[in-house]
Amino acid sequence: MIRITNLKKNYGEVAALAGINLTVNEGELFAYLGPNGAGKTTTIRILTGLTRLSGGSARLGGHDIETETLAAKRQYGLVPQHINLDSELTVHENLLIHGRLYHMRRQAIGPRIDELLGYIELEEKRHTLVKKLSGGMKRRVMIARALLHAPSILFLDEPTVGLDAAIRRRLWGLIKKIQQDGVTIFLTTHYIEEAEFLAKRVAFIDKGRIVGLDTPQHFMAAVGRWAMDRFEGDGMQTAYFETQEAAKAYAAEHHSGFSIRRVNLEDAFLKMTGKKVQ
């Protein structure tokens, strides 16, 4: 559904993307994970036609984003990183304007808005001004807006940034539901648990390159099942073990503070790049 080949983007001297190769299958929920400045947003901006690429190619649903831009653009809905709803308009008005911009037929827009307000569980906020909504509700409206024209691909750029843990989890439920309904989802995030919980496959991106691409389970299994964090001086050392018993036995030999936990995706990224995602 998404095919990226040797994708490059330069901003002057900065190589924001240095040759990305990636295929996302139909109906897949794919996470694109990396630290600030890794190139996540740049990738989405190119795939959605907001920025021109400097080299390589990208196809959405078989359509080249450079040469068949309109057909490629019809394939996707985009939820950008920053909230860009019109805060002085109601939820319904925001959705209506978007439908008109997409040249949806008048008779089709109304029922589709009704359907989506039910889907995001915000029917009762239909006539509320967007400025009166909470951050989590605004995100849900942004998702509904992106789905209005029934795209086959949904781009979610850091969809839960700035939200508290409970609201974030509620949005995860909505994202899963959208995928189960057959939409291909390309998600960028630097929340490790988000990728771990939602994604079937994860690409780690660092300095404009993919440094790892696999399932969360394989990434974590390659590190070990258990981690022991040990505080030494100013820093923290982490050791990895196959069993909790082995971790405990190792910890018992040391007298400094330690904690034992399950391995997560952050450990895999740390092992690969020597740095943390968050």
Residues that bind ligand ATP (CB under 6 A): 11, 14, 16, 34, 36-42, 190
DSSP string, 75-102: TEEEE-SS--S-TTSBHHHHHHHHHHHT
Is 207 in contact with 39 (CB distance < 8 Å)?
yes
In the complex with ligand ATP, which residue's Cβ is closer, 9 or 112? Answer: 9
In the complex with ligand ATP, which residue's Cβ is closer, 6 or 243? Answer: 6
Taking the CA atoms of the chain, what radius of gyration do you get in angstroms?
Answer: 21
In the complex with ligand ATP, which residue's Cβ is closer, 53 or 148? Answer: 53
Is 201 in contact with 215 (CB distance < 8 Å)?
yes
In the complex with ligand ATP, which residue's Cβ is closer, 207 or 225? Answer: 207
- Strand 258-262 and strand 226-232: the pairing is antiparallel
In the complex with ligand ATP, which residue's Cβ is closer, 47 or 154? Answer: 47
What's the min distance (Å) between Cβ of 170 and ligand ATP? Answer: 22
What's the min distance (Å) between Cβ of 16 and ligand ATP? Answer: 3
DSSP string, 105-129: -HHHHHHHHHHHHHHTT-GGGTTSB
What's the min distance (Å) between Cβ of 34 and ligand ATP? Answer: 5
What's the min distance (Å) between Cβ of 153 and ligand ATP? Answer: 18
What one-character DSSP code corresponds to residue 233?
Answer: T
Alpha carbon distance 76, 152 (integer Å): 6
What's the min distance (Å) between Cβ of 180 and ligand ATP? Answer: 27
Cβ neighbors of 231 (< 8 A, separation 6 or more) are: 256, 257, 258
Distance of CA 153 to the CA centre of its chain: 13
What's the min distance (Å) between Cβ of 18 and ligand ATP? Answer: 10
In the complex with ligand ATP, which residue's Cβ is closer, 122 or 213? Answer: 213
